Amino acid sequence: MAETAQDLTSPAVLVFDVNETLLDITHLAPLFDRVFGDKAVLREWFAQLVLYSQTLTLAGLYTPFGELGAGALRMVADIHKVSLAEPDIAELKERLSAMPAHADAAPALARLRDAGFRLVTLTNSAGGASPTPLDTAGLSHFFERSFSVDAVKQFKPAPDTYRLVAEALAVETSDLCLVACHLWDTIGAQAAGCRGAWVARSHNAILPASGVPHPNIVASGLSSLADQLIAPAGRRS
Enumerate the β-bridge partners of residue 147: 122
One domain, residues 171 and 197 = yes
The confidence score (pLDDT) of residue 130 equals 80
Domain count, the chain: 2
The confidence score (pLDDT) of residue 217 equals 96
Which residues fall within 8 angstroms of residue 76, CB to CB, at 6 or more apart?
36, 41, 44, 45, 48
CB atoms within 10 A of CB 233: 12
Percentage of residues of the chain with pLDDT beyond 90 = 89
The confidence score (pLDDT) of residue 7 equals 47
One domain, residues 153 and 57 = no
Report the range of poorest mean pLDDT among 4-13, 50-59, 115-124, 132-141: 4-13
Domain stop point among 45, 78, 96: 96
pLDDT digits (tens, 9 = 90+) for 85-109: 999 999 999 999 999 999 999 999 9
pLDDT digits (tens, 9 = 90+) for 4-20: 544 445 678 999 999 99
pTM of model > 0.95? no
One domain, residues 125 and 190 = yes
- Asked if residues 44 and 29 have their Cβ atoms less than 8 Å apart, the reply is no
Residues of the domain holding 42: 25-96
Mean pLDDT to the nearest integer, 159-180: 97
> Strand, coil or helix: what is 210?
coil
The confidence score (pLDDT) of residue 11 equals 74
One domain, residues 59 and 120 = no
pLDDT band at 1 (very low <50, low <70, confident <90, very high): very low
pLDDT digits (tens, 9 = 90+) for 33-56: 999 999 999 999 999 999 999 999
Mean pLDDT to the nearest integer, 125-142: 91
pLDDT at 171 over 80: yes
One domain, residues 133 and 212 = yes
The confidence score (pLDDT) of residue 231 equals 79
For residue 140, give the CATH number of its domain. 3.40.50.1000
One domain, residues 68 and 104 = no
Q: Backbone phi, then psi, for 119, in 5-degree steps?
A: -120, 130
* 41-58 and 29-36 helices, crossing angle to 10°: 110
One domain, residues 190 and 113 = yes
Determine whether 160 is exposed, middle or buried from the number of CB atoms within 10 Å of its CB (0-12, 13-18, 19+): middle
